[in-house]
């Protein structure tokens, strides 16, 4: 039932697993993000199925891994995501300022900080537990002062990446601005309050401008990507209004899974900095489907990708297996293809298992309460037509 209809040589093999975890441009780890895949994965497909100047799209861009890697490799990276956090991170990476522009803007903001009137959060707001009062005042000032300019967007994204993470014992050692917590997601306000009270934690008075400047130096330790891209905060169903039909050579994306991640709840601290209520994000995003509506959702996605792909274009979707209580996991990628196939002009190239070590899954921290995530992702590879327009035999892993 799932035998490939499009034969390619060599076959799709998970070469991306054979290379270091931190492989890639320094922009990639700017900010952690739930359910992200490593840049090695889109690199493999960009090398296999595109040439320089081609257009590469991720309609659920997350922290912008696919479009950023596309820009690094001289392709036009297109990003889209309804999540405002994902949009800011993606836009910052595909259309960055120079280091000099970002550093100068940070200096300008710092010079205006001392005399600025800051509208502080009311007593009892959960954000007040996360930071030292000095640090929170600086964050609040920057939250109000940053605009949508290219340099300010990059500074927003840089600050988002250091807003919370592993607690250090001194100002010099600390990378992150918060009390001790994971850097990938925000712990709940109630949990944080209890943790601070029980552990008698005193947050460090960290300087946001200093830590942001340090982070900028690390992000710009290599040249900016050679190509620029574009980012949209759009539902994928609206992308044809911004992207010409038949203009995309490659799609690499990880659509939302069944009831696994609440992108608003688990990012409430970063969303606070962006001025967006977490509940608003979770009400907007499609991440709570049962199987039948999810399959209908994926039908719409694949039909839209078919419209946007050029003849011979390739669509790569990373779809995780989903656990079921008392029953075997759902091979969701196979279910998606089986359901969508009759109405598509896309052809199957391959369905590749990509097991993820259990200790590397972000949801490991929740143990038995981690939702329906499993340790198996599957790579659904589809083609518009009888063969890919480009099928490079060799993937270059040099950097």
**Global pTM value:** 0.92
Give the pairing type, strands 309-324 and 327-330.
antiparallel
* Residue 291: pLDDT band with limits 50, 70, 90: confident
DSSP 5-64: SS--SSPP--GGGGS-TT-S-TTGGGS--TT---THHHHHHHHHH--TT-EEEETT-TTT
* Residue 200: pLDDT band with limits 50, 70, 90: confident
3-state secondary structure of 348: strand
- pLDDT of 9-51, one tens digit each? 999 999 999 888 889 999 999 999 887 789 999 999 999 999 9
Higher pLDDT, 103 or 377: 103
CATH number assigned to the domain with residue range 15-84+231-268+278-384, chosen from the 4 options 3.30.930.10, 3.30.470.20, 3.40.50.150, 3.20.20.70: 3.40.50.150
- Least confidently predicted of 89-93, 203-207, 208-212: 203-207
Higher pLDDT, 287 or 391: 391
CA dist 289 and 316 (Å) reads: 21
Answer whether residue 287 shows pLDDT above 80: no
* Residue 96: pLDDT band with limits 50, 70, 90: very high
Higher pLDDT, 357 or 267: 267
Answer whether residue 358 shows pLDDT above 80: no
pLDDT for residue 359? 47
Q: What integer is the mean pLDDT of 276-295?
A: 83
CA dist 109 and 107 (Å) reads: 5
Q: Judge whether 252 and 309 are in contact, CB under 8 Å.
A: no
- Least confidently predicted of 253-257, 294-298, 349-353, 365-369: 365-369
CA dist 56 and 58 (Å) reads: 7
CA dist 183 and 170 (Å) reads: 18
DSSP symbol at 147: -
Contacts for 182-190: CB closer than 8 Å, 24+ residues apart: 182/365, 183/32, 184/32, 184/33, 184/34, 184/362, 185/34, 185/266, 185/267, 185/362, 186/266, 186/267, 186/268, 186/269, 186/270, 188/265, 189/126, 189/129, 189/268
CA dihedral over 244, 232, 303, 52, signed as positive or negative: positive
Q: Judge whether 314 and 382 are in contact, CB under 8 Å.
A: yes
pLDDT for residue 166? 86
Which residues are registered as beta bridge partners of 350?
381
DSSP 313-343: EEEEEEEEEEEETTEEEE-HHHHHHHHHGGG
Q: What integer is the mean pLDDT of 259-276?
A: 88
CA dist 99 and 222 (Å) reads: 10
Answer whether residue 187 shows pLDDT above 60: yes
The residue with tokens 């306000």 is 189
pLDDT for residue 357? 59
Answer whether residue 365 shows pLDDT above 50: no
3-state secondary structure of 301: helix
Residue 137 structure tokens: 């005042």
Q: Where are the domains of the chain?
A: 15-84+231-268+278-384, 99-219
Mean pLDDT over each residue of the chain, to the nearest integer: 90
Answer whether residue 183 shows pLDDT above 60: yes
Q: What integer is the mean pLDDT of 84-103?
A: 98
- pLDDT of 139-179, one tens digit each? 999 999 999 999 999 999 999 999 999 876 666 678 999 99
pLDDT for residue 118? 82
Which residues are registered as beta bridge partners of 373?
322
pLDDT for residue 370? 43
CA dist 135 and 346 (Å) reads: 52
Residue 354 structure tokens: 């990509």
* Secondary structure element (H or E) that encloses residue 190, with its range: helix 189-199
- pLDDT of 55-89, one tens digit each? 999 999 999 999 999 999 999 999 999 999 999 99
Q: Judge whether 372 and 257 are in contact, CB under 8 Å.
A: yes
């Amino acid at each position: 039932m799932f035998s490939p209809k499009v034969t390619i040589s060599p076959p799709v093999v998970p070469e991306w697993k054979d290379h270091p975890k931190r492989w890639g441009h320094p922009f990639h780890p700017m900010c952690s993000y739930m359910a992200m895949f490593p840049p090695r994965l889109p690199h493999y497909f960009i090398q296999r199925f595109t040439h320089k100047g081609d257009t590469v799209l991720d309609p659920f861009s997350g922290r912008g891994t696919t479009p950023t890697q596309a820009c690094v490799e001289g392709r036009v990276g297109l990003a889209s995501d309804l999540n405002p956090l994902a949009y800011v991170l993606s836009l910052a990476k595909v259309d960055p300022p120079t280091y000099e522009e970002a550093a100068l803007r940070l200096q300008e903001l710092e010079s205006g900080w001392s005399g600025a009137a800051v509208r502080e959060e009311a007593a009892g707001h959960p954000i007040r537990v996360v930071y030292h009062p000095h640090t929170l005042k600086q964050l609040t000032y920057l939250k109000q002062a940053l605009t949508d300019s290219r340099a300010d967007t990059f500074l927003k994204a840089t600050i988002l990446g250091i807003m919370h993470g592993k607690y250090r014992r001194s100002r010099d050692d600390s990378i992150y601005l918060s009390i001790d917590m994971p850097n990938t997601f925000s712990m709940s306000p109630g949990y944080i309050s209890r943790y601070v009270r029980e552990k008698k934690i005193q947050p460090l008075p960290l300087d946001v401008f200093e830590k942001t400047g340090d982070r900028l130096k690390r992000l710009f330790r290599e040249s900016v990507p050679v190509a620029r891209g574009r980012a949209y905060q759009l539902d994928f169903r609206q992308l044809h209004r911004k992207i010409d039909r038949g203009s995309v050579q490659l799609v690499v994306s990880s659509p939302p899974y069944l009831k696994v991640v609440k992108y608003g709840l688990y990012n409430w601290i970063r969303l606070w900095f962006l001025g967006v209520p977490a509940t608003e994000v979770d009400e907007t995003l499609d991440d709570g489907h049962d199987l039948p509506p999810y399959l209908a959702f994926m039908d719409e996605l694949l039909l839209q990708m078919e419209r946007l792909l050029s003849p011979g274009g390739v669509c790569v979707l990373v779809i995780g297996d989903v656990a079921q209580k008392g029953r075997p996991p759902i091979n969701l990628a196979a279910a998606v293809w089986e359901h969508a196939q009759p109405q598509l002009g896309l052809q199957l190239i391959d369905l590749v298992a990509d097991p993820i070590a259990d200790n590397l899954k972000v949801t490991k921290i929740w143990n038995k309460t981690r939702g329906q995530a499993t340790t198996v992702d599957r790579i659904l590879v589809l083609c518009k037509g009888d063969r890919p327009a480009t099928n490079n035999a060799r993937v270059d892993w040099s950097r």
